[in-house]
Amino acid sequence: MTKLSVNINKIATLRNSRGGNIPNLTKVAQDIESFGAQGITVHPRPDERHIKYQDARDLKKIVATEYNIEGNPIQKFIDLVLEVRPTQVTLVPDAEDAITSNAGWNTVKHKDFLKEVINTFKQNGIRTSIFVDPDVKMIEGAAKTGTDRIELYTESFAENFGQEKSESIKPFKEAAKIAAKLGLGINAGHDLNLDNIKYFKEHIPNLLEVSIGHALICESLYFGLDNVVKMYLDKLK
């Protein structure tokens, strides 16, 4: 079964919109785990507009499943990850003012930088993953950095899913095959939702984990967080 890691950035956004501690981020993370999710993901950004760096520290104390911290490996982020030591760090090349992640790494151009950062994390016992587009060259480049896994950036799949499912999934199937041949674990995330997750899972071999936040929280407004987590788990079987 593919593991479900729930990104709780949007919970932090809601909390920050009023100040204070409602909703309580750590309590929500614990509830999500109790509903059956196998991981918690956070993506702290330098301006801390949703997840704060202290949140990442506080969550380490209570997350009982896999703990994944995403982000652009600027020095502040690297220091945080080395301090917290999550289960996994996912490296994302987003600009400091990006609303959301919008591209994968150029693993050829940034090979040396990624290799150095990844080596630092792995020496400290932290599993590494690189956010990449479904591009064969980028997958091959990722393998040369020493990363444990890649996370396939799935926005293009989600955008085209309604028009032509078989065409939208093709580059991801090819990317997954190449990744498996190169010994890379496969994660995926971005705009996956209850409508498209089952199809994606069924067509991507060796899919270890999906990270879902925005859609899952939005769907929970209608169906409830407990129900939605269970709905995803059912579709990922």
Domain residues for 190?
Answer: 3-235
Given 33, 190, 209, 219, which residue is catalytic? 190
Q: What is the pLDDT of residue 94?
A: 77
Q: In degrees, to the nearest 5, what angle opens at C-alpha 38 toward C-alphas 36 and 44?
A: 120
Q: What letter does residue 163 receive in the DSSP assignment?
A: T
Q: Who contacts 109 (Cβ-Cβ below 8 Å, separation ≥6)?
A: none
Tokens of 81: 């990850």
What sign does the CA torsion over 227, 36, 149, 174 have? negative
Give CA–CA dist 197/208, Å, rounded: 13
Kindly give the confidence (pLDDT) of every residue in the chain, 237 residues in length, as a single tens digit, with 9 standing for 90 and above: 899 999 999 999 999 999 999 999 999 999 999 999 999 999 999 999 999 999 999 999 999 999 999 999 999 999 999 999 999 999 999 766 554 556 789 999 999 999 999 999 999 999 999 999 999 999 999 999 999 999 999 999 999 998 889 999 999 999 999 999 999 999 999 999 999 999 999 999 999 999 999 999 999 999 999 999 999 999 999
CATH number for the domain harbouring residue 217: 3.20.20.70
d(CA 196, CA 67): 24
Of the candidates 70, 151, 209, 219, the residue annotated as catalytic is: 70
Q: Give which of 198, 202, 200 is closest to 233, Cα–Cα.
A: 198
Residue 70 is a catalytic residue: yes
What are 171's two structure tokens? 């580059």
Give per-residue burial for 49-63: e unless 16+ CB within 10 Å, then b: ebbbbebbeebeeeb
| Identified catalytic residue from 43, 50, 151, 219 | 43
Counting the structural domains of the chain, the total is 1
